[in-house]
Amino acid sequence: MEDKTVEAMDVIELTRALGKKIQQEEVYLQYQIAKQNADNDPDLQRIISVFDEKRTALSEEGEKDDAEKNTAKIQQLSREMRRAYGEIMSNQSMICYNEAKENYDVLMNRISAIIQKSFSGEDPETADYSASCSGSCATCGGCG
């Protein structure tokens, strides 16, 4: 027999309760802390700005007519952008953020899959997310 509290709730109320429970999960809390730490890390934010500036400059240079393009400048901007990207990805705040985001995404994908599969008529008790990522983003239609 089901809990009387659950029986009295409609599906929207249950979803809101799920949302509250999600926001209490350790994975969610760790992600929020890691995101805040990354947002507040001045070194990380500085190098992200440098990366964005290089990417914009590279894009602008690449959009020029062939006669106006400066190949040496494109190569230099490309090297500088790769260097900035490497610094971003080796920053401790970014490393922690990426780890927390990966765990957060797994939880979100599992929850979404269970709900979607339940809508499709699958058994909610056995429905779950199964990763099918090949590791290549080139041909991917998106994660989840």
Q: What is the pLDDT of residues 112-142, one digit of tens each?
A: 999 999 999 999 999 888 876 555 555 555 5
Contact between residue 14 and residue 6 where contact means Cβ atoms under 8 Å apart: yes
Residue 144, pLDDT score: 46
Q: Are 105 and 95 in contact (CB under 8 A)?
A: no
Contact 89, 105 (CB under 8 A): no
Tell me what the mean pLDDT of segment 14-20 comes to. Answer: 95
| More confident: 40 or 138 | 40
pLDDT for the residue numbered 138: 56
- The reported pLDDT for the residue numbered 132 is 66
Residues 43-56 have a mean pLDDT of 97
Q: Is the pLDDT of residue 6 over 90?
A: no
Tens digits of residue pLDDT in 72-111: 999 999 999 999 999 999 999 999 999 999 999 999 999 9
pLDDT of residue 136: 55
Q: Cβ of 60: how many Cβ atoms within 10 Å?
A: 10
SS3 at position 100: helix
Say which residues have a Cβ less than 8 Å from residue 69's Cβ, sequence separation at least 6.
Answer: 61, 62
Residue 23 carries which side chain, given as an amino acid letter? Q
Q: 107, 27 in Cβ contact below 8 A?
A: yes
Q: Are the CB atoms for 114 and 130 separated by under 8 Å?
A: no
Structure tokens at 82: 């790769």
Q: Could you tell me the pLDDT band of residue 9, with boundaries at 50, 70 and 90?
A: confident
Q: What angle do CA 66, 76, 69 make, to 5 degrees?
A: 10
